[in-house]
Structure 1
Amino acid sequence: MASGNIDWIRLDKALSVEAEKGFTNLQGNQYQFNEFLCLNFGNSPPNGTPTSDRRKWQNFAAQYADYSNLSVAQRKTLISQTRQFLYELRKTLETPSEPQPPKLPKTTAITDKKASLRPISLEQSLSTLAEVGYKRAELLKRLGLYTVKDLLFYYPRDHIDYARQVTINNLVAGETVTIVGTVKRCNCFTSPKNKKLSIFELILRDHTGQIKLNRFFAGTRFTSRGWQERQKRIYPLGSTVAASGLVKQNRYGITLDNPEIEVLDSVGSSIESIKIGRVLPVYPLTEGVGADLIRKAIIVSLEAIKQLRDPLPRVLREQYGLMGLKEAISNIHFPETSELLAHARRRLVFDEFFYLQLGFLQRRQEQKQIHNSTVFTPKGRLIEQFDNILPFSLTNAQQRVINEILEDLNSVTPMNRLVQGDVGAGKTIVAVFAVLAALQSGYQAALMAPTEVLAEQHYRKLIPWFNQLYLPVELLTGSTKKAKREEIHRQLITGELPLLVGTHALIQDTVNFQKLGLVVIDEQHRFGVQQRAKLLAKGKSPHVLTMTATPIPRTLALTLHGDLDVSQIDELPPGRQAIQTTVLTGKERTQAYDLIRREVAQGRQVYIIFPMIEESEKLDVKAAVEEHKKLSDKVFPDFNIGLLHGRMSSVEKDGVLTAFRDNKYHIIVSTTVIEVGVDVPNATVMLIENAERFGLSQLHQLRGRVGRGSHKSYCLLMSSSKTPDARQRLSVLEQSQDGFFISEMDLRFRGPGTVLGTRQSGLPDFALASLIEDQEVLELARVAAEKIIAADKNLGSLPSLKKELETRYQKLMGGEILT
């Protein structure tokens, strides 16, 4: 390749890592990302670069010089354009003079000689394959693999690229490659330090240099002289050998780590191994099931690919540049090139997203066809009165979302809307308008929150407003006394109680409404699917309003709530000040304590938060209790300090929070119990210990407990971690107060399951798709699904697509019905 001195590999790695880390202009060992790119594009382009490409090359140097001033979206576009440019340029510069890699046979040709001559069918049991047999088929059942079709759709979790052949002098540590050379020396012997370890040693040479390869075999059967001599005879001096593996640098020089090795007939002959010289699939495994078993079974099963029918219409495939299904399945397993693998993955990722979105949109169509008598009037006495008693004006965003909700409630189709709003955006007010629309139309409403603290907070907010409107409202939680609970049950059945606020206690069988017309679920992602459904079942197709103060990135919203209408309160009420956020180390703790003393001296209050220790709630409580004692006795002996943790009873928690609201405590030491729902306008300092152990969205939620009054507020993030990644993650909070941006970055850093809480997140079970890497494909799939549904909502003209949807959607969602 006539490519000058350009280090293509390092350039591509730099661009890949920058994209993976969220386009943050990473700091390398010597240079920042954009400096490294400027240096590379500042050099002359490679020899043979066309004139038009030379101009583009120089333009990239100028664009990366201005990289720090670009938005995340602009950086993303620039990097995408750069990678495409480098790929095309490298293809242009390739010349035939480069040594050709060994010829690889078609994967379907790598089969066992004992394979049956009978054609293999998609529904054929794996036990009938000669390469598998009954015993191995029983092992594969542990992975849910029963038929040939199951195997074909059992995608690799990763690939190791051994397809790139390089010469010995071009080996770079960290890459996976294949080399071809001549055997200069071969030896196999027992380790002098471990009599049960046999060491195989091979020295290869090509026209650029030589390399020593080692393999290690543990066990007495490998230390016999006979076995060792047989190994040496396999690789005679002067024979041609191909070796694939991960390049490593050790104290003896460069080598391949535990390489796969095969003797060739000659330098240009075919490699027959299923591992060497190709892009090798890596599959999810389980105990007793080895990688080679799955690879060999899939190779045999590839014969059945020709029986697959592609459900996607050809017009759609051509419009979105998608590979055919047969070709995609073949290349996701054993691709001939990395480019074919990328195209195959894109098609199969598109399928996963497309069928999910198609299912969501069909459900949405079905919901809109449900007609009932639960129609609320958007205008009425209660809404007018509430408008008059509000001591402040609604923001434009609040008014817009209220109008969207009232329009939904005035329809015979049950509302199914999610309201997203940042901390302090005023979601509760919006929900009250929906509740009043239900009440003035003669229906009851229920508001369910995930914790007693949050339910109590809502109840406290609603009481003053509902008292002025002469409307009863009650609170039902696990702590509600038996007599009070029974009274609430009676009033619900008679219809005397129009609004009930509560926790999971609302879904108990003993709770029955006379005429439930509206369900409001706060922080709904904290509830399981069945819990939400159980509350809905207490009415006849009630309208549903779900709310979250945890802004969800669009990719997550589409994947979780593709069948919901989504409203965003993207504007904070006037007067809300930005919270000054600072990341501190242990050495700067004195500064934090000085700030706390100053704020308390001015009559303000403080939160000090400790992380939840998932392994042991006892340790979590112990840490908080010990720190409370230390702060009370030694650090702030003149201040009243309260303690709040998850092991306290609801009555105890409520007592501490009430005392804090009444300014009887200057400081409250707490675990993450106060993450949402606590509203104390006088609190101005939030000190979070071990902040690196929290997610960004959770830190943003905690930060939202201060800055709720008119005084300047502070959030101090104490971190004991010295890793650059932790510091980089926390710096996002120093730079931004935007919950949507923060949640997007949290998604990039930690992944969707962790951001949402894996257990109850309701995330679909994707085999290939990544909500971080495949956002563009998700957007395409959504648009494609919308076009298909708009043209044929019942998919009557696309029977194969309809059949595939039924299978795929149920499998992705685990058979669950979403709210």
Structure 2
Amino acid sequence: MATLADRLDHLLGVKAAEPLADAFDMHTVEDLLRHYPLRYATRGQPLTEELPEEGKHLTVVGRVTKTELRPMKNRKGKMLKIEFDTGAAKPIEATFFNGDKVSYLVREGVRAMLSGTVHWWRPDRWNLTHPDYLILPDKGDPTVENLTSVRGSGALRGMAQSAKGAQGVDVSFFEREYIPVYPATAKVQSWTLLACVRQVLDQLDPIDDPLSEQIRSERGLLAVSDALRLIHLPDRKSDIEQARERLRFDEALALQLVLAERRHESEARAAKPCPPRPDGIAAEFDKRLPFELTAGQRQVIDEIAADLSRTHPMHRLLQGEVGSGKTIVALHAMLQVIDGGQQCALLAPTEVLAAQHYRSLRTMLGDLGAAGELGAADQATKVVLVTGSMTAATKKAALLDAVTGTAGLVIGTHALIQDAVEFFDLGMVVVDEQHRFGVEQRDALRAKAKAGAAPHLLVMTATPIPRTIAMTTLGDLETSTLTELPRGRSPITSRVVPRTQYPKWVDRAWERIVEEVEAGRQAYVVCSRIGEDEEKGRGGKAKTKSDAGEPPSTAAVVDVFEALRTGPLAKLRVGLLHGRLPADEKDRVMRDFNDGSIDVLVCTTVVEVGVDVPNATVMVIVDADRFGVSQLHQLRGRIGRGKHAGLCLLVTDAKPGGSAMTRLEAVAATTDGFELAVLDLRQRREGDVLGAAQSGTARSLRLLSLLDDLEVITAAQELAREVVAEDPGLLRHPGLAGMMHAAVDAERLEYLAKS
């Protein structure tokens, strides 16, 4: 007998187990049984009157009623055409292109199984083209359980071989209505997996179910033992559906238990309450605002203010469209914490964004952010910037302001996480673009608070997150969403520019930039790579090996800059910005673009988030097919931030009708970030979202859809929080604890949170 924890090499033998380990990282019985069928071959139920679609895969059982061997027209050899009676009103036609080789087996009167693809060759005629076949004995034949050889081809022959035991081939298996077909490799075929699964199930002991009978009854779920058997060897369609329902719930519950544990640990910590003060810097900042906040901004500010007034730390996600006003909401929250006598840290993913935040927050605060300077307001605080490339003297001064408490607001990059950075009394951490940081990095910064206290946490993202994704990746955080755009935001029009088909359209894009600049406005040109140290081919493009299957060459930003500066934009002031420039030069270029000294900024994705130049109205994205959907949406959000409408041109060599072109057309068709986020996740597929590609293993969520299974995820979240509230650490629920640790490792959950 066997348990889920037993090793496959002990149960199946080393020869059978090693290929499973190499191909799928399978080592235990549970690893094998959690490798669910991809689909099911349906044993020949008589076809209904409904005609099958072109390309549909059919598996049928019946009898050969007619055969005809005829020469092929355009090549040597003969084809075998047969009629196959499945019990339907009309027989099925099938064609074999190696007729000479199969005619002695596939002959009139034999009973067989065929599995192939439907091909319509006339408006009223279709057949199975060169199907796999398996010769079956007649029902009632006394040798049915004791066939000593397999007569057939392709996958059906392989599956029959997998059913072969000491007594011969168990052909009765092929009388099953549903035969599982597994994700496979060239070295480990589906029928090999089927043979291993059948062997393991024959020896499997009853499984202790991690869900109580009461929970299963309330939710109408199968026992896990039944679900694992029926997912592999179902007798009817309802078996498959019920098994998937149970196993899908288990996957959702495992994730939610991890998040519920994290949430419980956070809520158990103590934090210094920071209630709003009517005479503080936050109230004074409100009075000075030159514009009216949206209703959504006011609502979120109130939600955060209530969180900050409690004695346990806030853990909140603030998401909203590009330009929805998240920064001012976060600043208001930080000022409330500063009113409480504590410091705030704002963590940004890049030096460009950190510097942009520093400049914009200083500008918004005015004399309220000028503590220690002449003319500072009475309630003023000090704002400092900490980045890795700052001069030693500048960084030393900023770190001194942080450790002494002189600075109420410290803005920085990953440099803030370093051991050398200390705070006098850190009360709040704000993480901008949370998907750029992991849980460990957030925790490293939060650990800089005083012993025994936990800082409040606000994470922000301009990449909209569908509700199910947020519940699954950030279930330990409360979520606030800004859906309105502040007054003053202008509409953005997007157009795809197919460079190969219409090269003159690209010329027109540069002309449009010239027209906008002549009208007093500015533009971006964004490229996908820097290219300084890369080997160049003709025309300034990186050399590629197309015959090796590498992606096509792309334009480097340094080359595009030179081409535009000396070509179509020669009369304009063109600047260059990318991540390899020295920090002081990056800062200078951004200042020049901000104040209008640069007309056109040729750049990489360093401007993807946080850059705010209201006068910029045009963006040309070169090789747009090399960017993801969310990244394109973020980049596009850099324009249309002022009183003039924005125009985004997506230049591409993607083929018409291809997936890349379809993706770009979808981006051009809508500015709804939530709609694009769903599209992005569907195209990337959820296995990538879960980190399977990142970790290099085949493990991921197999059945749970993070986009479609809202009801399942919600139910799992409710149960997980209920269980953890009653039993922190799951000491009284060892089965659930085991499920949590077995189904979701820390590395994959970490990647999930970043995706």
Decide: shared fold, TM above 0.5: yes
User: 1:621–1:645: 8 Å Cα contact kept in structure 2?
Assistant: no
Given the alignment, which residue of 376, 379, 383 partners 2:274? Answer: 376
Given the alignment, which residue of 238, 241, 256 partners 1:357? Answer: 256
User: 2:528–2:554: 8 Å Cα contact kept in structure 1?
Assistant: no
2:193: which partner in 1? 294
User: 1:174–1:247: 8 Å Cα contact kept in structure 2?
Assistant: yes
Amino acid of the structure 1 residue aligned with 2:560: E
% identical aligned pairs: 38
Equivalence map 1:621-632=2 (5 Å): 623-632=556-565
2:517: which partner in 1? 600
User: 1:162–1:245: 8 Å Cα contact kept in structure 2?
Assistant: no
Amino acid of the structure 2 residue aligned with 1:602: A
Query: Alpha-carbon deviation of 1:603?
Result: 0.5
Structure 2 residue 118 is matched with structure 1 residue 247: yes
2:333: which partner in 1? 434
User: 1:621–1:647: 8 Å Cα contact kept in structure 2?
Assistant: no
Secondary structure, counterpart of 1:498 in structure 2:
strand
Tell which deviates more after alignment, 660-669 or 167-176. Answer: 167-176
Given the alignment, which residue of 429, 436, 440 partners 1:530? Answer: 440
Structure 2 residue 390 is matched with structure 1 residue 480: yes
Secondary structure, counterpart of 1:525 in structure 2:
helix
Structure 2 residue 8 is matched with structure 1 residue 126: yes
CA gap of 1:664–1:774, structure 2 versus 1, over 3 A, is same
Amino acid of the structure 2 residue aligned with 1:539: A
Equivalence map 1:418-457=2 (5 Å): 418-457=317-356
2:545: which partner in 1? none
Q: Distance between the aligned counterparts of 1:163 and 1:514, measured in 2? A: 75
2:706: which partner in 1? 771
Q: Distance between the aligned counterparts of 1:727 and 1:815, measured in 2? A: 32
Q: What number of residue pairs does the alignment pair up?
A: 681
1:579: which partner in 2? 492
CA gap of 1:688–1:458, structure 2 versus 1, over 3 A, is same
Q: Deviations over 1:672-729 (max 9, x none)?
A: 2211121111111122233343333222211111111122222233344411655554
1:509: which partner in 2? 419
Q: Distance between the aligned counterparts of 1:615 and 1:488, measured in 2? A: 33
Structure 2 residue 498 is matched with structure 1 residue 565: no
Q: Distance between the aligned counterparts of 1:770 and 1:411, measured in 2? A: 36
Q: Distance between the aligned counterparts of 2:347 and 2:258, measured in 1? A: 27
1:326: which partner in 2? 225
Amino acid of the structure 1 residue aligned with 2:381: L
Q: Deviations over 1:734-789 (max 9, x none)?
A: 4433322332333334335768999899x994132222343443234334545656
User: 2:557–2:603: 8 Å Cα contact kept in structure 1?
Assistant: yes
Given the alignment, which residue of 137, 140, 143 partners 1:264? Answer: 137
1:341: which partner in 2? 240
User: 2:687–2:701: 8 Å Cα contact kept in structure 1?
Assistant: no
Q: Deviations over 1:432-475 (max 9, x none)?
A: 22222232322222111111111111011122311255422221
Secondary structure, counterpart of 1:307 in structure 2:
coil
Secondary structure, counterpart of 1:532 in structure 2:
helix
Structure 1 length-normalised TM: 0.74
RMSD over aligned CA atoms reads 4.0
Q: Distance between the aligned counterparts of 1:754 and 1:346, measured in 2? A: 22
Structure 2 length-normalised TM: 0.79
Q: Distance between the aligned counterparts of 1:638 and 1:289, measured in 2? A: 63
Query: Alpha-carbon deviation of 1:809?
Result: 6.2
2:642: which partner in 1? 709
1:670: which partner in 2? 603
User: 2:574–2:601: 8 Å Cα contact kept in structure 1?
Assistant: yes
CA gap of 1:432–1:789, structure 2 versus 1, over 3 A, is same
User: 1:163–1:279: 8 Å Cα contact kept in structure 2?
Assistant: no
User: 2:3–2:205: 8 Å Cα contact kept in structure 1?
Assistant: no
Query: Alpha-carbon deviation of 1:496?
Result: 2.8
Q: Which runs of 5+ in 2 are unaligned?
A: 146-169, 371-375, 536-541, 543-552
1:145: which partner in 2? 26
Structure 2 residue 313 is matched with structure 1 residue 414: yes
Structure 2 residue 587 is matched with structure 1 residue 654: yes
1:738: which partner in 2? 672
User: 2:347–2:430: 8 Å Cα contact kept in structure 1?
Assistant: yes
Q: Distance between the aligned counterparts of 2:559 and 2:749, measured in 1? A: 46
Query: Alpha-carbon deviation of 1:810?
Result: 4.9
CA gap of 1:647–1:767, structure 2 versus 1, over 3 A, is same
Q: Distance between the aligned counterparts of 1:199 and 1:267, measured in 2? A: 34
Q: Deviations over 1:581-633 (max 9, x none)?
A: 33344434455344323221111111122235999977488532333333233
Q: Deviations over 1:457-512 (max 9, x none)?
A: 10111223112554222211121112222333333333333322111111112222
Q: Deviations over 1:257-286 (max 9, x none)?
A: 551423222499898276786544344456
CA gap of 1:293–1:431, structure 2 versus 1, over 3 A, is same
Query: Alpha-carbon deviation of 1:403?
Result: 1.8
Q: Deviations over 1:95-122 (max 9, x none)?
A: xxxxxxxxxxxxxxxxxxxxxxxx4444
Q: Distance between the aligned counterparts of 2:97 and 2:709, measured in 1? A: 38
CA gap of 1:529–1:787, structure 2 versus 1, over 3 A, is closer
Query: Alpha-carbon deviation of 1:247?
Result: 3.5
Query: Alpha-carbon deviation of 1:358?
Result: 3.4
CA gap of 1:415–1:758, structure 2 versus 1, over 3 A, is farther
Tell which deviates more after alignment, 272-281 or 767-776. Answer: 272-281
Structure 2 residue 660 is matched with structure 1 residue 722: no
Q: Distance between the aligned counterparts of 1:460 and 1:275, measured in 2? A: 71
User: 2:182–2:190: 8 Å Cα contact kept in structure 1?
Assistant: yes
Structure 2 residue 64 is matched with structure 1 residue 182: yes
User: 1:215–1:258: 8 Å Cα contact kept in structure 2?
Assistant: no
Secondary structure, counterpart of 1:572 in structure 2:
coil
Tell which deviates more after alignment, 674-683 or 265-274. Answer: 265-274
Q: Distance between the aligned counterparts of 2:325 and 2:49, measured in 1? A: 64
CA gap of 1:758–1:501, structure 2 versus 1, over 3 A, is farther
2:629: which partner in 1? 696
Query: Alpha-carbon deviation of 1:346?
Result: 2.2
1:554: which partner in 2? 467
Q: Deviations over 1:394-419 (max 9, x none)?
A: 22222221222222222221111111
